[in-house]
Structure 1
């Protein structure tokens, strides 16, 4: 899972959202140095990654990308999954992607002092370029992969990756939908996270008059 999916899977807790966002930059037991709910978000993130890495539907996606990315195929799969989440956002969230992104940005900025150094470095870029919203556009995936290939060890095969995405778009989409339904169930069941999707309504509480 990439940034957007991790944030989405945090439910309505800002502290868990923050921990889920920064988790890749908090190593070992350093999560114990954070507030309790932020720490919970970090541990949630790690469990989400483990669930994802072991899932057969994810491995099927990775197999389509391995010819061009080898052991890095999982990273590209994560990016593609964020695209399918963003592209179908109204099926997964009660608010718009822009509203969701702005709220996430506000959480990050209001907790800036808690952010690991590397997160502080890239956060202005993420906000300025509306990275979370950009995932909704298929062509934006090329730019995301290009930036990652320049700044990390990800192979520079962005054009090939986009060709595979275009050719197998419906297959990726179907695999994502099936996998993500299981992921949501896992997070809600095992971690007590409540994710309010369009078909999930808040309970109506009747107030008794005294």
Structure 2
């Protein structure tokens, strides 16, 4: 799952939104010197990623992509699942998407525990209203294409739009079947502490 889903899942599980994003950057053992809410957020982020990557619906969608896109299938599907979450937002959250994004922006205040890359990410999320762009097909395909810049060598991601258009319906069905299971998993993890 990508940023919108991690923030959504942190909110509904009453865990740290900052910790949910910090999980993207924390490597190895969780730093016991971090505030406990951040530690919990990192742990939940990792559990969400493990659940998602191993789930047959997500895995099947990734493996069904043709070369050369399959190599980047995890990225593509995580982004597309964020797109579908934005499109079907009212099914999964009582607030309007715009209200939730505004709330998230207010909650994500940099601290000394954030790496510089996360500070930059949050600044970009706020300045360019990136999460709001995920709702439209054009917005999500632009976001996927921009990921190419994070790699040392060119990727096929900027050329993925025709593939995403052709596979859109099956990706949507996979998301709609998958996300309720992920919600149940996250709420169970939160209850277990």
Give yes or no for TM over 0.5: yes
**Cα offset, 1:14, TM superposition:** 6.7
SS, match of residue 178 in structure 1: helix
Are 1:9 and 2:9 counterparts?
A: yes
Q: Quick one: structure 1 residues 117 and 164, their matched pair in 2 at CA, closer, same or farther if it must change by over 3 Å?
A: same
Q: Which runs of 4+ in 1 moved over 4 A?
A: 12-15
Partner residue in 1 for 2:25:
25
**Cα offset, 1:179, TM superposition:** 0.7
Task: Show structure 1 runs of 5+ residues with no match.
Answer: 194-210
SS, match of residue 10 in structure 1: helix
Q: Is the contact between residue 22 and residue 115 of structure 1 (CA under 8 Å) also seen in structure 2? A: yes
SS, match of residue 113 in structure 1: coil
Partner residue in 2 for 1:178:
177
CA RMSD of aligned residues (A): 2.0
Q: Quick one: structure 1 residues 186 and 12, their matched pair in 2 at CA, closer, same or farther if it must change by over 3 Å?
A: closer
Q: Is the contact between residue 7 and residue 21 of structure 1 (CA under 8 Å) also seen in structure 2? A: yes
Q: Quick one: structure 1 residues 31 and 98, their matched pair in 2 at CA, closer, same or farther if it must change by over 3 Å?
A: farther
Q: Quick one: structure 1 residues 192 and 147, their matched pair in 2 at CA, closer, same or farther if it must change by over 3 Å?
A: same
**Cα offset, 1:115, TM superposition:** 1.6
Are 1:78 and 2:114 counterparts?
A: no
Q: Is the contact between residue 66 and residue 73 of structure 1 (CA under 8 Å) also seen in structure 2? A: no
Alignment coverage as a number of residue pairs: 192
Q: Quick one: structure 1 residues 83 and 42, their matched pair in 2 at CA, closer, same or farther if it must change by over 3 Å?
A: same
Q: Quick one: structure 1 residues 34 and 154, their matched pair in 2 at CA, closer, same or farther if it must change by over 3 Å?
A: farther
**Cα offset, 1:69, TM superposition:** 2.3
**Cα offset, 1:120, TM superposition:** 1.1
Q: Quick one: structure 1 residues 85 and 148, their matched pair in 2 at CA, closer, same or farther if it must change by over 3 Å?
A: same
Task: Show structure 2 runs of 5+ residues with no match.
Answer: none
Partner residue in 2 for 1:57:
57
Q: Is the contact between residue 58 and residue 179 of structure 1 (CA under 8 Å) also seen in structure 2? A: yes
TM normalised by structure 1 equals: 0.84
Partner residue in 1 for 2:168:
169
Residue by residue, what CA displacement relative to the aligned partner does 1:106-143 show, whole Å, maximum 9, x if unpaired?
A: 1112x433322211122211111111111001111221
